[in-house]
Structure 1
């Protein structure tokens, strides 16, 4: 999580990445990808903030896709330097851009590979990232993901790695339980959030990395 800029023109970036636990260097690849994309967002912060304010979705999509593709390109180059398999030294990425300006309610999600971006609204979960087949990235398996939406008070936005996204999409018990727990007047504390994110379902044992934003 990082803040770029100051005042109402600032942007907050929430980013996470998760790779194949069995692949050599998977954790390092995930961390490298997050830092690379975050640095690129920081350098492009002013243009991104202007596009968010103006509602320029196509400009945001193309700009964030370029940043994402460059991040994966750096991973590919580093894998070659390390003598590792390029397909193994990678990770699924999810990022969320939040304008600090309270008058701007636009929320921008982007990423590629395994993972998910969900919104809890009025007690119901919505999957916010249908596959974008018209804008495939250079090399991220799973396709580029982009969604710009307008937040409402009471919304909960959830970014997660593939280990949590899969049961959120494939099972009814987990999203129903999280909806019940997270539809309260106040968001959970850190310990409760960690426990909620680790609710187990048989057949789903992959790593779960998650970040959530509760709209005031």
Structure 2
């Protein structure tokens, strides 16, 4: 869901050349600590676009949601030995064009104490869909609500490693969430006197559920569309769910609420010390490029003995790679070794 560069790419290249020194971390006076400056980049040259917003949508444009959507979301949590860091960042192309962030994320807990799970969700609005930013935002939240209603059944299916049962629960939850959202969007379109089309809200969705009881080692990923889940093990990133087993990385044309064949449910088992990375294709695409510099950079940043602070995680998540200028949403999960 990357954007093509605009006709002003030459001007952006001049900006990048002039600003390249700013990527170095600048030391401030001792009383103010250290300023990180412009986010780091991989490759010889930084991307053409500047790494910060140049404009933003206006209320007068007629899309109130886009006008007030922040360029960056930052979140985190700690439950026992499990720590979460999450960031959703407007892509360089959106910053340059002054358009809103189409990605969304949700970090929350679901279920009663005896069946509690962390719910981590990311969604990537389809670039050509005019209201995909609304679709991604509302889909993560509405799906979380429906999965909360089914938390005890999910927990039981996880413990039994019943992938078929998990797939049925996920499909029902996404169907119910989608139908409710479709009704709301149809009503809004009616009041604004414009036609309603499902594809105008198109978005992908990935939901990772992690039991907070660390004796339960199974996790489950519910997926529609591109993006996905990776695992950092021994300094290298690996797809947590191999594509040949369930096709998660091959479903690039699938999107909610209309263009998908099924919700895929994938079981995985982790051990303390491994890092899970859930992301939209703004980060999973550069993570899997042939040149390993980007992957190595984030493996070094997130594979150390310490979990990064929220501000450090955001700065690291903004690491730039030329030609990858889409929105980027990433949620990482660390679990301490006993």
TM bin, normalised by shorter chain, reads 0.7 to 0.9
Distance 2:226 2:120 in 1: 17
1:181 aligns with 2:293: no
Aligned positions of 1:159-198 closer than 5 A: 159-171=278-290, 172-198=292-318
1:85 aligns with 2:197: yes
* Shift, 1:154, TM fit: 0.6
SS of residue matched to 1:186:
coil
Residue segments in structure 2 that go unaligned for 5+ positions in a row: 1-106, 190-194, 249-253
* Shift, 1:75, TM fit: 4.5
* Shift, 1:73, TM fit: 4.2
Distance 1:72 1:181 in 2: 37
Q: Which whole-Å deviations, capped at 9, do the CAs of 1:28-62 have from their partners, x for residues lacking one?
A: 11111011110110111111111111221221122
Residue segments in structure 1 that go unaligned for 5+ positions in a row: none
- Go from structure 1 to structure 2 and tell me whether the alpha carbon gap of 1:194 and 1:133 turns closer, same or farther (over 3 Å shift): closer
* Shift, 1:128, TM fit: 2.4
Q: Which deviates further from its counterpart, 38-47 or 73-82?
A: 73-82
Q: Which has the larger radius of gyration?
A: 2
1:109 aligns with 2:215: no
Distance 2:268 2:148 in 1: 21
SS of residue matched to 1:170:
coil
Corresponding residue of 2:156: 50
- Go from structure 1 to structure 2 and tell me whether the alpha carbon gap of 1:142 and 1:201 turns closer, same or farther (over 3 Å shift): farther
- Go from structure 1 to structure 2 and tell me whether the alpha carbon gap of 1:74 and 1:7 turns closer, same or farther (over 3 Å shift): closer
* Shift, 1:20, TM fit: 3.0
* Shift, 1:141, TM fit: 4.9
1:151 aligns with 2:267: no
- Go from structure 1 to structure 2 and tell me whether the alpha carbon gap of 1:127 and 1:72 turns closer, same or farther (over 3 Å shift): farther
Q: TM-score, normalised by structure 1?
A: 0.88
1:25 aligns with 2:131: yes
- Go from structure 1 to structure 2 and tell me whether the alpha carbon gap of 1:89 and 1:147 turns closer, same or farther (over 3 Å shift): same
Q: Which deviates further from its counterpart, 136-145 or 95-104?
A: 136-145
1:98 aligns with 2:204: no
Q: Which deviates further from its counterpart, 166-175 or 156-165?
A: 166-175
State the number of aligned residues.
216
Distance 1:195 1:141 in 2: 34
* Shift, 1:25, TM fit: 2.0
Q: Which deviates further from its counterpart, 29-38 or 54-63?
A: 54-63
Corresponding residue of 1:126: 238
SS of residue matched to 2:332:
strand
8 Å contact from structure 1 (residues 79, 89) kept in 2: no
Q: Which whole-Å deviations, capped at 9, do the CAs of 1:142-190 have from their partners, x for residues lacking one?
A: 9644321111111111111121121122242211111112121111111
SS of residue matched to 2:137:
helix
8 Å contact from structure 1 (residues 68, 111) kept in 2: no
